Structure 1
Amino acid sequence: MSTSPHLWRFTLLGLLLLAGCSKQQAPSEEVRPVRVVSAGQHGIDNGNSFAGQVRARTETDLAFRIGGKVIAKLVNSGEHVRKGQVLARLDASDTSLDISAKQAQLAAAESDLAQQQLNLKRYQELLAKQFISQAQVDSQQNGVNAARAKRDEARAQLTASRNQGSYTQLVADADGIVSQMLAEPGQVVAAGQTVARLAHDGEREVAIQLPENALASVRQQQTFTISLWAGKQQYQGRLRELAGDADPATRTYAARITLPQAAGLALGQTATVSLPGASHGDSSAMRLPLTALLDEQGKHALWIVDPKTLRVSRRAVSVLNIDSDSASVRGALQPGELVVTAGVHLLHEGQRVLLLQQGEQ
């Protein structure tokens, strides 16, 4: 019995398909583009100084006492304002209607009281002529007292409504600079929601973050040297405030150093607070971009790139101090090593990376 040529073709095709399915393609390794910085490029930190920012001694969060729709923003962030100056307004239509209603209630209560008093006078005249009894006069007197209480309540409600009307204006409580304006016209805000942040005029301070091994040295210092990055001015300051608990994310302690002779400094200027004679260990600390820190449950690490294999490895470090865009760290880190500065939470141990050149996205 001969085999059909078509049957041979189908059999051969089936064998080829089975062979193709049996071959498993090896998964391709993910290569993640990263930015890096050379350790030590941002400077070696000797542990005797801490970066910070110039802040106002007093900063107030301003809010409306009532909720409503913002219809006017009268100042912008960075503007200087005077005490009593109106910063923003709410839609007063609802409060205006309420005031009108309370005025009508007060007018009705006053009219009723006047009528009750006229009735009482007439009752007293009738009593004098012995046309009515004393009990009827006493009853009318009670009506007058009730009408007077109703009038007083309506008057109090009108006063409260007028106060509510004044609450539609957000007013500066001191001379200062509006560091932030957090509401725009058309936005609906709740009572007590922060709308503006006001930095009061007057004394300036430097806000810094301290590691726990620097607390004792800082407490012992009588004076500190504050250097400004812009202009290179130097001032003498003293410790005014030191937090009693560490920040849960950075494990550092917030501190404030006063600048009694520098009331005119601009807010947000970068400053360095130096501790004369203080020492926190060796001089192996380095300053790195804040984005290089990998924070996992209060423990910090860096991703180090091997320049030969282009694979990353985790390196544990301790944070000495931190500011808005950089951190001083100490650990088994050598100058010149490549540290990943972006996407640190997307990497894993031994992952291969592609180094981006400056300016690449």
Structure 2
Amino acid sequence: MTIRHFAALCLVGALAACSKPEAQPEAPRPVRSVTLAAGNGQTAAFHAGDIRARHEARLAFRVGGKVVARLVDVGATVKPGQALARLEDNDTSLDLASRRAKLAAAEADLKQNEADIKRYRELLAQHFISQAEFDRREAALAAARGNQQAALAAAQLGANQQGYTTLSAERAGVVTSIDAEVGQVVSAGQLVARVAESGEREAVIAVAESQLAEVRAARGFVVQVGQLPGQYQGVLRELAPDADSVSRTYTARITLKDADDSVRLGMSARVYPQGEAAAPLSVPLSAVLDENNRHYLWLLDGKAPQVKRVEVKLAKVSSDTAWIASGVRAGQEVVTAGVHLLRDGQTVRRLTHDPAQPVGTQAK
């Protein structure tokens, strides 16, 4: 082997040692996705509230005093006229006794004057007394009759005051709160108990100023009550004309048309307004890519697992959901996680995917 051949072999070996290894193909990036589904007029946004009775009585004693008996507990079912609590009645009993004594005296005086007027009428006929004297006796009789009527009214007032020491339910219902304990001194008009009347049930919600038009324009409402299966149809019965001074929201009361016994007071409620048109599509907020004040979604081709970025317009955004005004259509599949790590045409791999999954719910 010549020196020239040997040098050539060394050069070839050096070049082979310095060459880079062949690039490995990029592994598909795993992604999660959802399939967009068309709405049915029910917006994805909801108003949180709770279930209350349409009529709730706020009961209080009409006189002040010390509570000596609490006769019901919260949650008790009461009938009309059933006693809920009692006040100490020592003072009212004494006052009633005094009024009745005065009434007895006034009635005795009236009887005496009625007997006298008969005698004086006979004396007047026999000219033993003057007409002026008889007139004075008639005036005394009229005064006695007035005193008796006043004493009777005072005795009735005392009896009423005695009855006010017992707090009773006006109508049948359920006791929702008791704000007095035995030994507590309450004043007249101080709230002591709340009784929710049996019958209609309502979902009470707080509506922000920006949502007033949507609530007013809704053709109906769908109410999801707690963890109960199914939904209830509702209708707007009342919308407060002015905002709450603290929360600056407007109270709305949605009457449940088909509420049954399973709908209990105090249950949580989600109220979905129903519009005339189809509701906008919704996606998890994590699916939206924001760049330079523009919004994008990554579409996933079901046949070739590659992603494509498309610009969309948002209708509105909540803490975890974005509603799409335009840019995509129902049936398209969008990526919901890792949107900042993708590029156009990149090959991806679905972790899991359920084409029938509800709108805006990330696959598990």
Q: TM-score, normalised by structure 1?
A: 0.64
Letter of the structure 2 residue corresponding to residue 115 of structure 1: Q
The counterpart of 1:271, out of the listed 263, 269, 272, is 269
Distance 2:256 2:134 in 1: 75
Letter of the structure 2 residue corresponding to residue 247 of structure 1: D
Distance 1:254 1:283 in 2: 29
Letter of the structure 2 residue corresponding to residue 214 of structure 1: Q
Distance 1:47 1:245 in 2: 26
Larger radius of gyration: 2
Tell me, yes or no, if the aligned pair for 1:203 and 1:263 is still in contact at 8 Å. Answer: no
1:274-285 alignment, distance < 5 Å: 274-277=272-275
1:64 aligns with 2:61: yes
What CA deviation, in whole Å up to 9, does each residue of 1:287-325 have, x standing for no partner? xxxxxxxxxxxxxxxxxxxxxxxxxxxxxxxxx9xxxxx
Name the SS of the counterpart of 1:275 in structure 2: strand
1:195 aligns with 2:192: yes
Distance 1:285 1:251 in 2: 27
Pick which of 101-110 and 123-132 moved more. 123-132
- For residues 285 and 256 of structure 1, do their structure 2 counterparts lie closer, same or farther at Cα, with a shift above 3 Å needed? farther
Aligned to 2:227: 230
Unaligned runs of 5+ in 1: 1-45, 287-319, 321-327, 336-361
The counterpart of 2:176, out of the listed 176, 179, 186, is 179
Distance 1:90 1:195 in 2: 12
What CA deviation, in whole Å up to 9, does each residue of 1:195-223 have, x standing for no partner? 00111100000011122221111111121
Aligned to 1:136: 133
What CA deviation, in whole Å up to 9, does each residue of 1:259-285 have, x standing for no partner? 121142210111111123587998788
Distance 2:268 2:89 in 1: 42
What CA deviation, in whole Å up to 9, does each residue of 1:38-90 have, x standing for no partner? xxxxxxxx862111111111111001111111110000111111111110111
The counterpart of 1:165, out of the listed 147, 162, 166, is 162
What CA deviation, in whole Å up to 9, does each residue of 1:150-194 have, x standing for no partner? 111101100111111111111101111110000011111111111
- For residues 279 and 233 of structure 1, do their structure 2 counterparts lie closer, same or farther at Cα, with a shift above 3 Å needed? closer
Compute the displacement of 1:136 (Å): 0.8
Q: How many residues align?
A: 247
Unaligned runs of 5+ in 2: 1-42, 287-315, 322-336, 338-364
1:14-163 alignment, distance < 5 Å: 48-163=45-160
Letter of the structure 1 residue corresponding to residue 267 of structure 2: Q
What CA deviation, in whole Å up to 9, does each residue of 1:106-151 have, x standing for no partner? 1111111111222222212222222111111111111111111111
Tell me, yes or no, if the aligned pair for 2:44 and 2:272 is still in contact at 8 Å. Answer: no
Name the SS of the counterpart of 1:272 in structure 2: strand
Distance 2:112 2:158 in 1: 26
- For residues 51 and 163 of structure 1, do their structure 2 counterparts lie closer, same or farther at Cα, with a shift above 3 Å needed? same
- For residues 169 and 221 of structure 1, do their structure 2 counterparts lie closer, same or farther at Cα, with a shift above 3 Å needed? same
Distance 2:65 2:119 in 1: 50
Q: TM-score, normalised by structure 2?
A: 0.63
Letter of the structure 2 residue corresponding to residue 276 of structure 1: Q
Distance 2:98 2:285 in 1: 69
Tell me, yes or no, if the aligned pair for 1:73 and 1:89 is still in contact at 8 Å. Answer: yes
Distance 1:248 1:139 in 2: 66
- For residues 220 and 126 of structure 1, do their structure 2 counterparts lie closer, same or farther at Cα, with a shift above 3 Å needed? same
Name the SS of the counterpart of 2:128 in structure 1: coil
Runs of 4+ in 1 over 6 A off after TM superposition: 278-286
Distance 1:160 1:172 in 2: 21
